[in-house]
Structure 1
Amino acid sequence: MTETQQGRRRPQLSDEAAAYIRALIMSGELRPGSQVRPETIGERLGISTTPAREALQLLRVEGFLELVPRRGFQVAPLTGADIRDLFRAQALLGGELAGRAAVRVGPAELAELSALHHELMAAAARNDTGLLEEKNHAFHRIINHLADSRKILWVLGLTVRYVPRMFYASIPGWQQATVEDHGKVLDALTAGDANAARGAMEDHLTHAGELLAEHFDARIQGEGQRTPA
Structure 2
Amino acid sequence: MAATRLAQRPQLSEEVADHVRTRIMSGEVRPGDFIRLDETAAALGVSVTPVREALLTLRGEGLVDLVPRRGYLVSPMSRQDVEDIFWLQARLSKRIVDRAITRFDEAALENHARLVEDFETAAVTGDPDRVVSAQYAIHRSINRASRSDKLSRFLNNAARYMPYRLYAEDPDWRSTALEDNRRMLEALRTGDVETAHAVVDREFTNGADLLIAHLQRAGVWDEDRDEDRGATLVAQA
Give the TM-score range, shorter chain: 0.7 to 0.9
Task: Tell me how far apart the structure 2 counterparts of residues 172 and 224 of structure 1 sit (CA, whole Å).
Answer: 31
> How big is the shift at 1:204?
1.5
How far is 1:41 from its partner?
1.1
Runs of 4+ in 1 over 4 A off after TM superposition: 221-226
Judge conservation of contact 2:123–2:174 (CA < 8 Å) in 1: yes
**Larger RCO (CA within 8 A; separation ≥ 6):** 1
Q: Cα 1:154–1:119, aligned 2, differ >3 Å: closer, same or farther?
A: closer
User: Which residue of structure 1 aligns with residue 122 of structure 2?
Assistant: 123
Does 1:43 pair with 2:42? yes
Are residue 16 (structure 1) and residue 44 (structure 2) matched?
no
Report the 3-state secondary structure (helix = DSSP H, G, I; strand = E; otherwise coil) of the residue aligned with 1:66. Answer: strand
Specify the code of the residue in structure 2 equivalent to 1:71: R
Residue 49 of structure 1: CA displacement? 0.5
Whether contact under 8 Å (1:59, 1:65) holds in the other structure is yes
Report the equivalent of 2:136.
137
Distance 1:123 1:28, change over 3 A: same
CA distance in 2, matches of 1:37, 1:221: 19
Aligned to 1:65: 64
Consecutive unaligned residues in structure 1, runs of 5 or more: 1-8
Paired residue secondary structure (1:74): strand
The residue type equivalent to 2:96 in the other structure is L
For 2:11, what is the secondary structure of its paired residue?
A: helix
1:99–1:196: 8 Å Cα contact kept in structure 2? no
CA contact (8 A) 1:94 1:202 kept: no
Q: What does residue 88 of structure 1 align with?
A: 87
Q: What's the offset of the Cα at 1:222?
A: 9.3
How far residue 96 of structure 1 moved from its aligned partner, in angstroms, is 1.5
> Contact (CA 8 Å) 2:126, 2:171: kept in 1 or not?
no
Q: What displacement does 1:221 show?
A: 5.7
1:32 alignment counterpart: 31
Q: Alignment partner of 2:162: what SS?
A: coil
Q: What secondary structure does 1:30 align onto?
A: coil
Pairing 1:175–2:178 present: no
Q: Secondary structure at the match of 1:73?
A: strand
Q: TM-score, normalised by structure 2?
A: 0.84
What amino acid is the match of 1:59?
L
Aligned-partner Cα distance in 2 for 1:116–1:177: 16
1:144-200 Cα offsets, whole Å, 9 max, x none, are 110112232132122122222344312563212211221221121111123322332
Q: Letter of the aligned partner of 1:88 in structure 2?
A: W
CA RMSD in angstroms, aligned pairs only: 2.2
Q: State TM-score, norm by structure 1.
A: 0.87
Query: 2 CA distance for matches of 1:224 and 1:10?
Result: 41
Counterparts of 1:225 and 1:120, CA distance in 2: 42
| Aligned match of 2:102 | 103
Q: CA deviation at 1:219?
A: 1.5
Give aligned pairs, total. 218
Q: Is the 8 A contact 1:80 1:217 kept in 2?
A: no
Alpha-carbon distance in 2 for matches of 1:155, 1:128? 28
Gaps of 5+ in 2: 1-7, 226-237
Partner-residue secondary structure (3-state), 1:77:
coil
1:79, 1:125 → 2: CA distance?
34
Aligned AA for 2:136? H
For each residue in 1:128-153, what CA deviation from the matched residue of structure 2 results, as whole angstroms up to 9, or x when unmatched?
11111111000000001101122321
Distance 2:170 2:30 in 1: 16
> Corresponding residue for 2:149?
150
CA distance in 2, matches of 1:174, 1:225: 31
